[in-house]
Amino acid sequence: MFEQFSALPADPILGLLAEFRADDNPNKIDLGVGVYKDEAGHTAILQAVKEAETRLLRTEESKVYVGPAGTPGFFSTMSELVLGAGHPALTDNRVRGAQTPGGCGALRVLAEFANRAKQGATIWVSDPTWANHVPLLGYAGLNIETYPYYDRATSSLRFDEMYEALKKVPAGDLVLLHGCCHNPCGADLTREQWDLVTELALERGFTPFIDMAYQGFGEGLAEDAYGARVMASKLPEVIIAASCSKNFGLYRERVGLAMVVYANSAQADVGQSQLLSVIRGNYSMPPNHGGAIVETILTDAGLRANWESELSDMRERINSLRTGLVENLVSNGADGDFSFIQRQRGMFSFLGISPEQVARLKKEYSIYIVDSSRINVAGVSQANMQYLTSAIASVI
Under DSSP, is residue 318 helix (H, G, I), strand (E, B) or coil?
A: helix
Q: How far is CA 287 from CA 31, 50, 273, in A?
A: 30, 18, 20
Nearer to ligand LMR among residue 206 and residue 251 (C-beta): 251
- Does the annotation mark 211 as catalytic? yes
In the chain the first and final C-alpha atoms are separated, in Å, by 49
Q: How far is the CB of 378 from ligand LMR (least distance, A)?
A: 11
Which of 20, 75, 130, 262 touches ligand LMR (CB under 6 A)? 130
Parallel/antiparallel/unpaired status of strands 122-127 and 374-376? unpaired
Nearer to ligand LMR among residue 87 and residue 133 (C-beta): 133
- Give the type of residue at 247: N
CA distance 142 to 240: 16
Nearer to ligand LMR among residue 166 and residue 181 (C-beta): 181
Q: How far is the CB of 177 from ligand LMR (least distance, A)?
A: 16
* Helix or strand (DSSP H, E) at 175: strand 174-178
Q: Does 147 bind ligand LMR (CB under 6 A)?
A: no
Q: How far is the CB of 243 from ligand LMR (least distance, A)?
A: 8
Q: Does 33 bind ligand LMR (CB under 6 A)?
A: yes
- Does the annotation mark 28 as catalytic? no
Q: How far is the CB of 298 from ligand LMR (least distance, A)?
A: 22
Nearer to ligand LMR among residue 132 and residue 342 (C-beta): 132
Q: Does 34 bind ligand LMR (CB under 6 A)?
A: yes
Task: Give me the half-sphere count of Cα atoms (radius 13 Å) on the Cβ side of residue 261.
Answer: 28
CA distance 147 to 125: 6
Q: Which of 28, 37, 224, 246 is labelled catalytic?
A: 246
Q: Which of 130, 188, 194, 362 is labelled catalytic?
A: 130
What letter would DSSP give residue 213?
Answer: S
CA distance 150 to 33: 21
Taking CB positions, which residue lies at the least distance from ligand LMR? 34
Q: How far is the CB of 174 from ligand LMR (least distance, A)?
A: 20
Which of 13, 46, 114, 341 touches ligand LMR (CB under 6 A)? 13
CA distance 83 to 96: 12
- Whether 371 and 355 have beta carbons less than 8 Å apart is answered as yes
- Whether 348 and 377 have beta carbons less than 8 Å apart is answered as yes
- Whether 356 and 382 have beta carbons less than 8 Å apart is answered as no
Q: How far is the CB of 292 from ligand LMR (least distance, A)?
A: 23
- Does the annotation mark 130 as catalytic? yes
- Whether 123 and 173 have beta carbons less than 8 Å apart is answered as yes
User: Could you give the string, one character per residue 208-237, with x where binding to ligand LMR holds by CB under 6 A and - elsewhere?
Assistant: ------------------------------
Q: Which of 30, 188, 211, 224 is labelled catalytic?
A: 211
Residues 181-210 that bind ligand LMR (CB under 6 A): 183
Q: How far is the CB of 160 from ligand LMR (least distance, A)?
A: 27
CA distance 151 to 163: 14
Which of 76, 132, 274, 381 touches ligand LMR (CB under 6 A)? 132
Task: Give me the half-sphere count of Cα atoms (radius 13 Å) on the Cβ side of residue 231.
Answer: 32
Nearer to ligand LMR among residue 13 and residue 388 (C-beta): 13
Please report, as ranges, the residues that interact with ligand LMR according to CB under 6 A: 13, 33-34, 130, 132, 183
**Which residues are designated catalytic?**
130, 211, 246
